Amino acid sequence: KTEGRSAQRERPTRIVSLLPSATEMVCAVGAAEDLVGVSHECDFPESIVGRPILTSSRVSVTGTSGEIDRDVRELLRTVLTVYDVDVETLRAVDPEVIVTQDLCDVCAVSLSDVEAALRSIARSDVEIVSLKPGRLDDVIEDVRRVGVALGRADEADAAIVDLRARLAALRERAEAIGNRPNVLTIEWIDPVMVGGTWMPELVEIAGGYALVTQPGDHAPTLDRAALAALDPAPDVVLVKPCGFKLERTEAELGDLRTLLDGLPWPALETGRVFLADGNAYFNRPGPRLVESAEILAACIHPPVFADLAAKHAASFHAW
């Protein structure tokens, strides 16, 4: 090993990622070939599809957002965990490093679940990298943490320079417009939950003013009365439920229309309500938050960001 700020650690060759965004980070720092196991939700980039799957969900993913919400709340009330770790497959892939999260027990396998699984196979020599991003800078710094743990600090630094440069360029374009519409982001339909954590920052970068939440806030739940009372009311609404691809959100559009019908929102009067892929974007705290900000910009300022609307045409549309 060498000394100095840019010194690289010895590179592990058997990496497990139990978080979709972490899998994207592992790939972003050039370690995709060393992934020996992933979660059941890891689906990007396509090159990692087919790796051994180490987790499963106790919640049926075929239900409506309301049914999923009720099932999750009941599971957390009774058994404390939503996911299971496949201990025997974990033993078989024999990891040196596991990347997981300690942010949300609903989003992915928790740190305590991973620690329990390692104890069950008597492994105390595995390095656990647990991510807990609450804001955009946390996400970007997690790329560095993953890179350092995988002996790829230089690659991580290069990836971070690129991410920050793209965000800065988008912010500069948005600031030149001169006006900021009020933006509401919805990350669950039944009940309605408003995007928190890094979402207000993405809205600001994309040229809007985020309603309800501040950077780092947890997602609050709003009923119809609270939605009707929003002041200012939203000029733009983006609906991107966590874990839902675009077609899943479209399937529940009728219920959402009924809930929002008649609210005194400029967004409803002008038709500036958009649906987006909440599985690939927005809710994954990884490199594709840059693309998420680009989609937001295309929704908030369509004439100015027509190029980004065309770039992401398959991932969002007006309702």
> Region 91-116: what's the mean pLDDT?
86
Residue with tokens 């492994």: 123
Closest CA relative to residue 184, chosen from 262, 236, 241, 227: 236
pLDDT of residue 80: 65
User: What average pLDDT score do residues 1-19 get?
Assistant: 73
pLDDT of residue 112: 86
Q: In this prediction, what percent of the chain has a pLDDT beyond 70? A: 96
Quote the pLDDT of residue 79: 66
Q: What is the pLDDT of residues 238-271, one digit of tens each?
A: 999 999 999 999 999 999 999 999 999 999 999 9
Q: Is the pLDDT of residue 3 over 60?
A: no
**Percentage of the residues of the chain whose pLDDT score is greater than 90:** 82
Pairing of strands 97-101, 15-17: parallel
The residue among 260 and 10 whose pLDDT is bigger is 260
Q: Quick one: tokens of 31? A: 């370690």
Kindly indicate the confidence band of residue 8, based on its pLDDT and cuts at 50, 70 and 90. low
Mean pLDDT of 119-148: 94
- The token duo for 233 is 């009311």
Measured between alpha carbons, how far is 39 from 53 in angstroms, rounded to an integer?
5
> 105-109, 173-177, 193-197: which range is least confident on average?
105-109
Global pTM reads 0.93
